[in-house]
Amino acid sequence: MNAATWRDTLRDRLGARIGLSPERAWCWRRAEAAFATWAASAPQQRWPQLVAELLARPYDDPTLRALIAHATVNETWFYRDPQQLEALLAWARVRHAEIRRPLRLWSAGCATGAEPYSLAMALTAAGIPARILGTDLSEPALAVARDGGPYPRHRVALLPAELQRRFLVPSGVAVRLHPALRDTVAFRSHNLAADPLPQLPGGWDAILCRNVFIYFTVAQARATAQRMQAALAPGGRLVLGAADRVIGLVSTPPLGRPPAAYAPAEGRAGAPLPAPPRRATASVEDVRRALRAGALGAAEHGAAALLAGADPAPDAWLLSGVVHLARHRFADAEASAERAGRAGAGAFDVELLGAMAAERLDRPHVALRRLERATAIRPSAWAPRLRRALRLRRAGRLLPAEAELQRVAALLDEGADPFAGASDLSAVEGHHLDFEAATQLVATILDELGDLTGNPTTLGRPS
């Protein structure tokens, strides 16, 4: 058996067990690498058999759970999509006044617990009682959730200051949750693709499953969304994320401004999902103008409208990814870069968007490969070269970093454009340097590297 056979077996059988779409390339690369490491001591001709045996084990098998953890995405942060959470909080006030009992909320695919804990913070601060359940397939992620951390500080950056003061406890360079808050959320392991959904008498008031379905096949996502709707109480809400639009699961009023939530008709749990709009209400140029003006809300709504059209243009996927990047939804940005590449969007921007997302997902090797491809496409663009040099420097590869910085210095001396032409990434605040700042940064780092490598160098200023 050749290597392709065991990979096919892994994708077919693991995909069937957890619903993971074949299009989630980097999830599969992680799973394949983990399996190859585990199976390295066996002859490769036995690997298809080992894959089959491993994936036939029950879910509580520790080796299978470790493999699944490598295939799942646990990127999350507190108060993600704040506008949507504020709209949900406003709905929760009305809902609680109507039903006069604690709200019953389920956060599906909660990873390390940022979403259910964000709900607990907001509801507690508003004086709204609630029972909250968080579920996920990854046991390592759930272990962090049950312990209430630790969470890196950048994961809580979007939390309102008053919630940070009230509910977070410093823990070295990270933070933990106050024990009283931790006790308000229950967590359990659950496989959305295969397990029966958690049920409550009378149904859930709201089910949150945000930016999870993009990792499923379309058929699996739609089937699971229908099951979730059937588990809602009359008047309940199924709350999806902005990224779920890419498979046609679009958000609708009345919960709030997009992204909002599905609202099944009263007494009709399991009603069909609304079909996506057939016509876009914005143009690619409208979204580009909004990005250049820093109007992220308008850009996000415009990009969502483009993707809801019958046949989204390749640049619609790219612009959606740029918005995700600006909103700090890095896994969504990377997924959009993959879709944009397959749709035929400009290769330079696709690689640069993928590199920026990979950097923030702490996958430096992927970022370096994408930056190398971007610089090969546009050799005179100094912005991706500078990013690549800084990434090489962080990795301790000082000589390649120094060589790349020398190329950046030469391009700056020539007055080259940072992106060597038009680029949708240039509009994202903080993702490019102006000429003077870049010149000063390159000169400083080259001096430092010269001291370390024994090749002192200076950078002249443009004439």
pLDDT digits (tens, 9 = 90+) for 67-97: 777 776 666 779 887 878 888 999 999 999 9
With a pLDDT cut of 90, the percent of the chain lying above it is 23
Question: Residue 331 above 80 pLDDT?
Answer: yes
What is the predicted pLDDT for the residue at 178? 92
The length of the chain in residues reads 463
What is the predicted pLDDT for the residue at 394? 82
What phi and psi values does residue 110 have, to the nearest 5 degrees? Answer: -85, -5
Q: Under a CB-based contact definition with an 8 Å cutoff, are residues 262 and 251 in contact? A: yes
Provide the pLDDT confidence category of residue 1 given band limits of 50, 70 and 90.
very low
What is the predicted pLDDT for the residue at 198? 92
With a pLDDT cut of 70, the percent of the chain lying above it is 81
Question: Residue 377 above 50 pLDDT?
Answer: yes
The DSSP 8-state label assigned to residue 20 in this structure reads B
What is the predicted pLDDT for the residue at 354? 92
Structural domains in the chain, sorted by start: 3-71 (no CATH), 82-247 (3.40.50.150), 292-453 (1.25.40.10)
Buried/exposed code over 213-228 (b: 16+ C-beta within 10 A; e: otherwise):
bbbbbeebbbebbeeb
In one letter, which amino acid is 83? Answer: Q
Which of 40-54, 118-132, 394-408 is modeled with the greatest confidence? 118-132
Reference 34, options 83, 62, 71; nearest CA is 71
Residues sharing a CB contact under 8 Å with residue 298, sequence separation 6 or more, in sequence order: 290
Provide the pLDDT confidence category of residue 278 given band limits of 50, 70 and 90.
very low
Q: What is the sign of the dihedral through the CA atoms of 190, 195, 197 and 200?
A: negative
Question: Residue 455 above 50 pLDDT?
Answer: no
User: How many other CB atoms are there within 10 angstroms of residue 197's CB atom?
Assistant: 16
Question: Residue 232 above 80 pLDDT?
Answer: yes
Question: Residue 123 above 90 pLDDT?
Answer: yes
H-type alpha helices, 327-434: 330-343, 347-360, 364-377, 382-394, 398-413
What is the predicted pLDDT for the residue at 279? 42
Question: Residue 268 above 70 pLDDT?
Answer: no
CA distances from residue 428 to 185, 259, 348, 370, 431 in whole angstroms, order as listed? 36, 21, 16, 18, 6
The gap between the terminal CA atoms of the chain, to the nearest Å, is 63
Q: How many angstroms separate the CA atoms of 341 and 314, rounded?
A: 8
Higher local confidence (pLDDT), 12 or 246 = 12
Strand-pairing partners, residue 209, are 240
Strand 232-240 with 174-177, pairing:
unpaired
Q: Under a CB-based contact definition with an 8 Å cutoff, are residues 307 and 317 in contact? A: yes
The two three-digit tokens of residue 363, written as one number: 């996958």
What is the predicted pLDDT for the residue at 97? 93
Provide the pLDDT confidence category of residue 306 given band limits of 50, 70 and 90.
confident
User: What value does the mean pLDDT of the chain take?
Assistant: 79
Provide the pLDDT confidence category of residue 251 given band limits of 50, 70 and 90.
very low
For residues 357-380, average pLDDT: 89
pLDDT (tens digit per residue) in 163-182:
999 999 998 888 999 998 98
Which of 58-67, 263-272, 333-342 is modeled with the greatest confidence? 333-342
What is the predicted pLDDT for the residue at 245? 55
Q: How many angstroms separate the CA atoms of 150 and 192, rounded?
A: 26
Q: How many angstroms separate the CA atoms of 317 and 334, rounded?
A: 11
Q: How many angstroms separate the CA atoms of 399 and 403, rounded?
A: 6
Reference 103, options 78, 124, 87; nearest CA is 124
What is the predicted pLDDT for the residue at 256? 43
Reference 447, options 418, 419, 409, 415; nearest CA is 409
Q: Is 205 helix (H, G, I), strand (E, B) or coil?
A: strand
Reference 360, options 399, 397, 321; nearest CA is 321
Question: Residue 30 above 80 pLDDT?
Answer: no
Question: Residue 446 above 50 pLDDT?
Answer: yes
Q: How many angstroms separate the CA atoms of 417 and 322, rounded?
A: 20
